[in-house]
Amino acid sequence: MSSQFPEARPRRLRRNASLRSLFQETEFSLNDLVLPIFVEEEIDDFVPINSMPGVMRIPESKLAGEIERYARAGIKSVMTFGVSHHLDSSGSDTWNENGLVSRMSRIAKDAVPEMIVMSDTCFCEYTDHGHCGVLHHHEVDNDQTLINLGKQAVAAARAGADVIAPSAAMDGQVQAIRRALDEAGFSQTAIMAYSTKFASALYGPFREAGGSALKGDRKSYQMNPMNRREAVRESLLDEQEGADALMVKPAGAYLDIIRDIREASRLPLSAYQVSGEYAMIKFAAQAGAIDEDRVVRESLGAIKRAGADLIFTYFAMDLALAGI
């Protein structure tokens, strides 16, 4: 009964567009996309990010209007990144009730209550040295940073953030944040863990976007891109610590990892198509080498096919405006 050529002719199901769409296995919609945004305090105008054509830093004073515009286009969720003018050695502005982290969530939720606001929870955009935590003898002090992550998470939750998304890559960060949230009465605030985060060169453009002060690298806390077993271990540890959802970051060069984690966990899994992935597509399209719209759709479809439920992508608004 083994059917082979000439009985088997897979081309039968590809003969026209209707057949092809009927038999298409993977799809994405606006329900699956999260738009990361950069919000700068104390500026009046949008600031273009040269390494990410089409992406701008949003002045805080225009954030509410932008959130309304995204909602009208069909965007369901944003992830907030602050560009701070209040840097210090620990990033203490992040847990100030009137600091930028809190204000971004408050403004976004006030503008559009249905918009799901995820608060990127880290310190690198608020520290004068640019690292994702507190320094002690030139090293990022894991456990002191955990205390501060708890404080930042509670401040963001109090300001209305629906989801806390810790990206500092500290050991134990999900457990520390879960405990801090629960103790402060925010047992319903979810944690989207950046559970498998690689020390990737693809974050390059983000450093311009976020105005990062970092000299050096983050290899003592983010993962070695060459490690597959450890990638699964990291996500499973976050699951044990109480994460509500997991993430692989970057996305496109790590489809094997997305598949591994999909098979190892039952939690919702997201993937972050990062700034460098965005820039590679944009600049190649600008040079006329590829068709931007088709490559965007292929790249996001591939990330879903690998096993991601949700995708963080700077292309989300383009797709929303295109009607998906």
Task: Kindly list the catalytic residues.
Answer: 197, 249
Amino acid letter, residue 54: G
- The reply to whether 274 sits near ligand PBG by the rule CB under 6 A is yes
Length of the chain: 324
- The reply to whether 164 sits near ligand PBG by the rule CB under 6 A is no
Which tokens belong to 76? Answer: 């369901």
Q: Give 127's strand partners.
A: 88
When binding is defined by CB under 6 A, the residue of 39, 71, 124, 140 that contacts ligand PBG is: 124
Sequence-ordered list of residues with C-beta below 8 angstroms from that of 290, at least 6 positions apart, any chain: 281, 284
Q: CA-CA-CA-CA torsion for 214, 217, 218, 220, nearest 10 degrees?
A: -130
- The reply to whether 281 sits near ligand PBG by the rule CB under 6 A is no
Amino acid letter, residue 87: L
Q: How many residues bind ligand PBG (CB under 6 A)?
A: 10
**Judged by CB, which is closer to ligand PBG: 130, or 160?**
130
Minimum distance of ligand PBG from residue 12's CB (angstroms): 42
132 is in an annotated binding site: yes
Instruction: Give the span between the Cα atoms of 128 and 248, in whole angstroms.
Output: 27
| Interaction mask 214-233, ligand PBG, x per CB under 6 A | ----x---------------
Residues 181-210 that bind ligand PBG (CB under 6 A): 203, 206
- The reply to whether 77 sits near ligand PBG by the rule CB under 6 A is no
Among ligand PBG, Zn ion, none, residue 28 binds (CB under 5-8 Å by kind): none
- For residue 156, give the 3-state DSSP assignment: helix
Minimum distance of Zn ion from residue 292's CB (angstroms): 29
**Judged by CB, which is closer to ligand PBG: 122, or 193?**
122
- The reply to whether 247 sits near Zn ion by the rule CB under 5 A is no
Instruction: Give the span between the Cα atoms of 310 and 252, in whole angstroms.
Output: 13
Query: b/e per residue, 140-170, with b = 16+ CB within 10 A?
Result: bbbeebbebbbbbbbbbbbbbbbbbbbbbbb
Q: What backbone torsions phi and psi does residue 104 show, to the nearest 5 degrees? A: -60, -45
Instruction: Give the span between the Cα atoms of 67 and 106, in whole angstroms.
Output: 12
- The reply to whether 132 sits near ligand PBG by the rule CB under 6 A is yes
84 is in an annotated binding site: no
Instruction: Give the span between the Cα atoms of 220 and 170, in whole angstroms.
Output: 10
Q: Which residues belong to the annotated binding site for 5-aminolevulinate?
A: 207, 218, 275, 314
- Binding residues for ligand PBG (CB under 6 A): 120, 122, 124, 132, 167, 203, 206, 218, 274-275
- Binding residues for Zn ion (CB under 5 A): 122, 124, 132
